[in-house]
Chains A and B, each alone.
Chain A
Amino acid sequence: MSQRLRAELVKLLPRLRRFAYGLTGSLDEGDDLVQGACERALTRLSQFEPGTRLDSWMFRIMQNLWIDRRRAQRVRPEVGLNPSALEALAVGDAEREMDHRLSMATVRRAVAELSDDQRAVLLLVCVEGLSYKDAAAVLGIPMGTVMSRLARARLAVGRALEGTPTAAGSTLKV
């Protein structure tokens, strides 16, 4: 039984890495988070309810672990998205590819600048494709909260993409 869950967990790894990359802003730190979450999950396999979604269960473990780690760090690190490093290293490609990468980098930076709450909702819905209901269950928040956080996060990313300032707490409705 646990072997089958392990096999399913292995299949999920690419998605877990993607989610962790979004949460932490860094592939390296993201992999540390995935590793920690897998280790935590393996000690709690008996708590997983068969028939429910393993991905949702893992996302919840990852989000909780990430929040724990963030609290332990107290001071928020400048997650690896140093703009000058991004630009300095974005070389060697055709310009179109470069533009694409820079806009991807812009999006990742905008996501890194969101609040933890908004970032988690955004990644679960837009990247992992969870329904609002499933995202609400993963995060333990009401659907209405999912919607308002998601709207704020998406508008913030939209502003970053359009090159307008993304000052925190600017003119947002709701």
Chain B
Amino acid sequence: MMNKQPKPWVDSMLVAYVDDQLEPAQMAAVEEILREDAEARAIVGVLRRSAGAVKAAFDQTLNEPVPARLLAAIGAEDEEAGDPEVVPVRPRKMRIHHSRSMLLAASVVGLAIGFGAGYLHFAPGGTIHLAGTAQQESATGQYEAALYRALEDGRPGASVPYEDSATKRLGAVTIVGPVVTASGRSCREFRHDWTDTAGTMAGHGLACRSDSGDWSILDLPPKPAS
């Protein structure tokens, strides 16, 4: 182990020492080196600290609820269904809702949120049921359906058009791209363009997937498109 090189150790030996993966004799040999070599001691310190930091940086995911779509992928919700080869790809129900207090985004922009709560339930077979107060929902309903589909697609540039005959509105939702917040939440930025009798407008917003696969939406106030 001791040779003519200026250093009697290599990094991979030190990392194995830190991780307690060496034979006892090798451990002892490294300890002897460490007693005499300040540089090796410093590197051991870095190797030790970085291991703890890396673990801490990703451990938070363990405390989060597992998204329903993953349970569905394993078929955990369909134990009684009888056919173990049928694997549902998506959870049976998804809903999309607007939040007035989406913590991160709201604190960044400090702006009021466009409209109130409305729920869309996505039932098996792809039919969409609107729930909640009906009247102002029809205009947002088409938009939400388009937004949901765009978010589920998720690719930057993915665009879903919609048409609302009641309000004579033609619009489209386009995914701008992914955003990961400091807390590790996974969000997407989207753009919403539409034209109706009042003119052409452009808005944008952030959508973050919550625990159970739902999307929390923050819409920023739209501006007339130039």
Contact = CB atoms under 8 A, between A and B. Distances in A.
B54 to A, nearest CB: 5
Contact of B19 (A15, A30, A132): A132
Contact of A89 (B19, B105, B188): B105
A123 B50 CA distance: 12
A35 B46 contact: no
B107 A92 contact: yes
Interface residues of B, number: 57
Contacts of B220: none
In the complex, which range does the number of interface residues on chain A fall in? 35 or more
B70 interface: yes
Interface string B49-69: 111011111111110101101
Interface string B113-129: 00000000000000000
A149 B180 CA distance: 27
A28 B70 CA distance: 12
Interface in A85-127: 85-92, 101-105, 107-108, 111, 122-123, 125-127
A80 B180 contact: yes
Contacts of B186: 26-29, 31, 80
A26 to B, nearest CB: 5
A82 interface: yes
Which of the listed residues B55, B56, B185 has the most CB atoms from chain A within 10 Å of its own CB? B55
Contact of A42 (B21, B59, B87): B87
A54 interface: no
